[in-house]
C-alpha cells in the first residue's frame, strides 16, 4: 500500500528519521534537562512550539527568502519564538524556568530546528511543514520524557514530583547527574536501533 | 581423546542443549585445553590460552581472598557469589545472543570486583555494580579484549558515584563488627595520624576501618603479584614503575609539604598494592609496548599521589588507573609512531 505523503511525513518524523535516535540531533539539551519529567515536558513543549512556529513562518516565506541570507532568516525567526517561550515560562512557571534556566535560551542552537528548517520547511508547503514540525516535536518530547522518567525514578524516587518508589530505596545520585543521562540515552538509542534494524557503517 | 571428553561432546550434541553450545565449549576449553595445532612457526610448547591465563590470575588472588573472609566474615563470600552470578548471567546472555564463545575474562573480573569494595556493602549494590561493570565496561565494547576501561573499576566507579553515602561510610574494622567512616588514608587526611606500617602490612591490630576487602592482607597481595610476574602472566614493568613513581613522587612532595603522606605509608595504605599488581596490569587495558608500560606506571603513580593529597577523595588508585586506561591507546600509538619514524630515517 502506497502511503500518502502526509503519513510518510509523520512516520518519518516520529520513527524512521527520529531526530534523536537516528540523526542524533538535539542530544545536548536532551542530556541536560532530562533529570526530571516536568522539566522534560516543559522543554519538549517549548521545542515543539518553536518548531511549529518556525515551520509555518519559513514555509510561508520560502519563496521570498533570498538564498544568500536564509540562515539569518531562520536564526531570527527561531530566536523570536524562543524569547516568547522564555518569557512565558518565566511568567507562569517560574520554578521550571529556574531549574532549566539557560537551556531555554539554548533552544536557539538546537540542531533539530535549524536542521528541519534547512532540510524540510524551506522546500515544502505549509501543510507538510506543519505536520513535520508537529511529529518532530512529538518525537523529541517523548524521547526526553522517556529518559527523564528513568532518571527521575532512580535518581529521586519520584515521578512528576510524586513519591513512587518506596522511601527506603536508596537514591542513585549518578542518575541525576550528567553521566546518568548518557547511560540512559545510550541504552535507549541502542534499543530503538535494534528494533528498527538500523546500523551505521 | 579422553572418555570423559567424548561423553561431554555427546551431551553437548543433544538437540535440547543446542542453544547452550557456548557453555559446553567453555567447559571443554577450561578442562581439556585447546586442540588446535599451529600449522607453521611459531609453535607454542604449552597450549596456554586465555582460559588458563585467567586461571593463573585467580590462583594469585586466593591468599588475599581467604584473608578477607578471615578478617570480615561470611558476608564476603556472599558478595563474591553475587558478583559471579550477576556477571556470569550478563556474560552468558551476551554470548548466547551474539552466538560466540563465552569469554573467560569474567572469571577474574567477577573475583576482583568484590575485592575492591567495602566489606559491608549490601548485596544489591554488589549486583548493580557487577551488572554495570560487565555490561557498560565490557560487553558494549564487544567483550573481552576490546574494552577500553577495566570492567571491575567501571563497576566500582559507578556505585561510588551512584551511592556515595554507602560507599564512604561502610568501612569495617577487621575481626570486629564496628563500622566506621575512616580508613587509614581518610584518617591521615583528617587528623594527620599515621597508621603503623606493621599493622598495615598484616592487616591485624588496626584500630580504624581497614579499607576494601581485598587490600587489607598486603603480604598476600605482594606474594600473589610476585607469583604472577614469575609465571610470566603479567609484566613486571607496570607494578614496579607504578609503585616506584608513587614512592619517589610522594618523597619529593613530602619534603616540600609535610601534609603529603610519606612514601612508606603511601605504598602500604589504600588500594595501591592491589591496584598495581592486579588492576593496572590487566593486559587488555594497559599498553602493550614496553616503553608504554613504563609511561603508564609512572603517570598512574603521579596521578595517585596528586589525587590522594590534593583532591576531595582520600583514595586515588581507582581514578588514576581508569584515567590511564583511557590514555592507553594514545600511549601505544605514540610509541609505535616514534619507532616507525626512527627506523624509516
Q: Which residues make beta-bridge pairs with B179?
A: B172
Indicate the SS3 state at residue A163: strand
Torsion of CA B110, B114, B117, B121, to 10 degrees: 130
Check CB contact under 8 Å for A174 and B158: yes
Is B53 at the interface with chain A, CB within 8 A? no
Which of these, B271, B301, B282, B313, lies nearest to B149 by C-alpha position?
B282
Q: What is the pLDDT of residues A24-74, one digit of tens each?
A: 787 887 788 888 888 889 889 999 999 999 999 999 988 888 888 988 999
**Inter-helix orientation angle A111-119/A37-61, to 10°:** 30
Q: DSSP assignment, residue B171?
A: E
- Chain-centre distance of CA A117, in angstroms? 14
At residue B298, the pLDDT reads: 93
The ranges assigned to domains in chain B are 3-32, 50-327
Model pLDDT for residues A159-176, shown as the tens digit of each residue: 877 887 777 777 888 888
Residue A104 is placed in which grid cell?
Answer: 531555554
Which comes out higher in pLDDT, residue A81 or A101? A81
Q: Which of B158, B161, B166 sits opposite A170 (nearest CB)?
A: B166
pLDDT mean values, one per 10 residues, chain B (345 residues): 71 72 69 61 56 79 87 87 91 83 76 87 90 88 82 90 78 70 73 71 65 81 88 85 92 86 82 88 85 91 88 82 91 86 62
At B1 the pLDDT is 54
Q: What is the grid cell recorded at B151?
A: 570492567
Give the single-character DSSP code of B170. Answer: -
Identify the CATH number of the domain defined by range B50-327: 1.10.3430
- Are the Cβ atoms of A170 and B136 closer than 8 angstroms? no
Q: What pLDDT is recorded for position B31?
A: 62
Instruction: Please report the residues numbered 157 through 176 in chain B whose beta carbons come closer than 8 angstroms to any beta carbon of chain A.
Output: 158, 161-166
Residues 111-140 of chain B with CB under 8 A from chain A are 136, 140
Q: Rounded to a whole number, what is the distance in angstroms from the first to the last CA of chain A? A: 30
DSSP for A48-80, written as a single string: HHHHHHHHHHHHHHTTTS-GGGHHHHHHHHHHH
Give B180's strand partners.
B171
Say whether the ipTM exceeds 0.95: no
- Measured in degrees and rounded to the nearest 5, phi and psi for residue B247 equal -60, -50
Cβ-based contacts of A190 with chain B (< 8 Å): 140
Residue A1 pLDDT level (bands cut at 50, 70, 90): very low
Residue with cell 533529570: A35
DSSP assignments along B280-294, one per residue: TT-TTTS-SSHHHHH
Phi then psi dihedrals of residue B171, to 5 deg: -85, 135
Element (H, E) at A149: helix A126-155
Residues of chain B with C-beta less than 8 angstroms from the C-beta of A179: 161
What pLDDT shows up at residue B30? 62
**Which tens digits make up the pLDDT trace of A114-155?**
888 888 888 888 888 999 999 999 999 999 999 999 898 888
User: What value does the mean pLDDT take over residues A104-120?
Assistant: 84
Amino acid at each position: 500500500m502506497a502511503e500518502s505523503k502526509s503519513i510518510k511525513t509523520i512516520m518519518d518524523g516520529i520513527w524512521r528519521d527520529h531526530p534523536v535516535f537516528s540523526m542524533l540531533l538535539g542530544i545536548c539539551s536532551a542530556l541536560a534537562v532530562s533529570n526530571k519529567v516536568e522539566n522534560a515536558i516543559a522543554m519538549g513543549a517549548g521545542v515543539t512550539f518553536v518548531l511549529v512556529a518556525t515551520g509555518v513562518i519559513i514555509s510561508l516565506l520560502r519563496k521570498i527568502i533570498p538564498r544568500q541570507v536564509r540562515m539569518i532568516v531562520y536564526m531570527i525567526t527561531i530566536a523570536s519564538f524562543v524569547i516568547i517561550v522564555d518569557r512565558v515560562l518565566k511568567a507562569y512557571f517560574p520554578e521550571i524556568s529556574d531549574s532549566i534556566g539557560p537551556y531555554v535560551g539554548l533552544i536557539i542552537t538546537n540542531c533539530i530546528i535549524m536542521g528541519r528548517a534547512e532540510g524540510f520547511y524551506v522546500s515544502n508547503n505549509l501543510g507538510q511543514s506543519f505536520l513535520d514540525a508537529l511529529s518532530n516535536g512529538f518525537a523529541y518530547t517523548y524521547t526526553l520524557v522517556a529518559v527523564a522518567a528513568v532518571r527521575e525514578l532512580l535518581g529521586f524516587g519520584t515521578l512528576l514530583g510524586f513519591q513512587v518508589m518506596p522511601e527506603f530505596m536508596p537514591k542513585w545520585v549518578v542518575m541525576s547527574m550528567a553521566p546518568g543521562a548518557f547511560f540512559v540515552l545510550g541504552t535507549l538509542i541502542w534499543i530503538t536501533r535494534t528494533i528498527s534494524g538500523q546500523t551505521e557503517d | 581423546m579422553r572418555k570423559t571428553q567424548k561423553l561431554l561432546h555427546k551431551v553437548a550434541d543433544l538437540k535440547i542443549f543446542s542453544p547452550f553450545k557456548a557453555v559446553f565449549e567453555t567447559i571443554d576449553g577450561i578442562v581439556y585445553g585447546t586442540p588446535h595445532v599451529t600449522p607453521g612457526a611459531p609453535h607454542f610448547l604449552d597450549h596456554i590460552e586465555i582460559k588458563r591465563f585467567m586461571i593463573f590470575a585467580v590462583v594469585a588472588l586466593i591468599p588475599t581472598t581467604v584473608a578477607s573472609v578471615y578478617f570480615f566474615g561470611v558476608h564476603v563470600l556472599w558478595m563474591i557469589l553475587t558478583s559471579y552470578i550477576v556477571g556470569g548471567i550478563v556474560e552468558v546472555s551476551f554470548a548466547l545472543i551474539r552466538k560466540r564463545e563465552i569469554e573467560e575474562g569474567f572469571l577474574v573480573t567477577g573475583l576482583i570486583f568484590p575485592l575492591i569494595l567495602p566489606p559491608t556493602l549490601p548485596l544489591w549494590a554488589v549486583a548493580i555494580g557487577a551488572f554495570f561493570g560487565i555490561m557498560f565496561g565490557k560487553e558494549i565494547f564487544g567483550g573481552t579484549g576490546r574494552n577500553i576501561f577495566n570492567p571491575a573499576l567501571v563497576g566500582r566507579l559507578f556505585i561510588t558515584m551512584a551511592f556515595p553515602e554507602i560507599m564512604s561510610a561502610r568501612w569495617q574494622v577487621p575481626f570486629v563488627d564496628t563500622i566506621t567512616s575512616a580508613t587509614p588514608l581518610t584518617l591521615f587526611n583528617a587528623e594527620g595520624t599515621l597508621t603503623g606500617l606493621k599493622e598495615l602490612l598484616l592487616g591485624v591490630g588496626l584500630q580504624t576501618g581497614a579499607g576494601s576487602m581485598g587490600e587489607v592482607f598486603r603480604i598476600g597481595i605482594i606474594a600473589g603479584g610476585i607469583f604472577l610476574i614469575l609465571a610470566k602472566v603479567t609484566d613486571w614493568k607496570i607494578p614496579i614503575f607504578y609503585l616506584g613513581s608513587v614512592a619517589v613522587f610522594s618523597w619529593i612532595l613530602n619534603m616540600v609539604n609535610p601534609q603529603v603522606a610519606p612514601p612508606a605509608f603511601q605504598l602500604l595504605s589504600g588500594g595501591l598494592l592491589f591496584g598495581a599488581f592486579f588492576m593496572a596490569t590487566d593486559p587488555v587495558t594497559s599498553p602493550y609496548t614496553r616503553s608504554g608500560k613504563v609511561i603508564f606506571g609512572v603517570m598512574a603513580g603521579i596521578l595517585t599521589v596528586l589525587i590522594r593529597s590534593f583532591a576531595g577523595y582520600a583514595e586515588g588508585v581507582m581514578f588514576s588507573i581508569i584515567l590511564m586506561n583511557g590514555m592507553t591507546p594514545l600511549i601505544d600509538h605514540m610509541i609505535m609512531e616514534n619507532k616507525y619514524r626512527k627506523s624509516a630515517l
